[in-house]
Amino acid sequence: MITKFISESEDLTGALSIRPPNSRQRILVVEDDALIRRLNTEVLTYSGYQVDTAEDGAIAWSAIQRENYDLIVTDNNMPNMTGIDLVQLLHETRMSLPVIMATSTFPQDDLDRHPWLQIEAILLKPYTFHELLATVQDVLSANPGHLGESAPPNWRSQPVPSRLSI
């Protein structure tokens, strides 16, 4: 259970609204670190999103070929294919899919070399559960073509743990 990774005063199940997943809000979490991948997945799932995962960009690309997603939340520094490489591939194939880059280092050099890359938001690690959820909500709201309905309405009304503790 995720609560063993947060301090004793922070209980994730009490901190987030637990709602059935919304099949119209499907998110692909791409992260090579198993713990961060699981934490992000559980936070998003508990908040009502349908979540799939991939360990790197190559696996994510295969998933994108098989499934429709409303949003990708990806790390950048991963084996086989980086997050930037994944975003470049989306661009090259003219796939319009919103991307949140959740990474420990800002990929400024890559973004300077490829100014046409479209990344809707960047979350620098470590980030809070609230920052993750707020960013997801903001990006999905700004991209209505990828969204069946708005994010679960009451996730912000609950206290949220302060930081992902890794």
Q: In 3D, which of 161, 157, 147, 122 has the Cα closest to residue 39?
A: 161
Question: Quick one: tokens of 75?
Answer: 């790390």
The answer to whether 164 and 39 have CB atoms below 8 angstroms apart is: yes
DSSP state of 120: S
As a whole number of angstroms, the distance between CA 21 and CA 2 comes to 18
Q: How does pLDDT run across 91-135, given as a tens digit for each residue?
A: 999 998 999 999 998 778 877 888 888 899 999 999 999 999 999
Q: Which residue has the higher pLDDT, 66 or 11?
A: 66
φ, ψ at 37 (rounded to 5°): -60, -45
Q: Which residue has the higher pLDDT, 3 or 37?
A: 37
Q: How does pLDDT run across 30-69, given as a tens digit for each residue?
A: 999 999 999 999 999 999 999 999 999 999 999 999 999 9
DSSP state of 115: T
The confidence score (pLDDT) of residue 161 equals 43
Strands (E), the chain: 22-30, 49-54, 71-74, 99-103, 121-124
As a whole number of angstroms, the distance between CA 72 and CA 86 comes to 10
Query: How confident is the model over 19-29, as a mean pLDDT?
Result: 70
DSSP state of 80: S
As a whole number of angstroms, the distance between CA 129 and CA 107 comes to 22
Place of tokens 């990474």: 103
Place of tokens 């098989």: 66
Q: How many residues are recorded in the chain?
A: 166
pTM (2 decimals)? 0.76
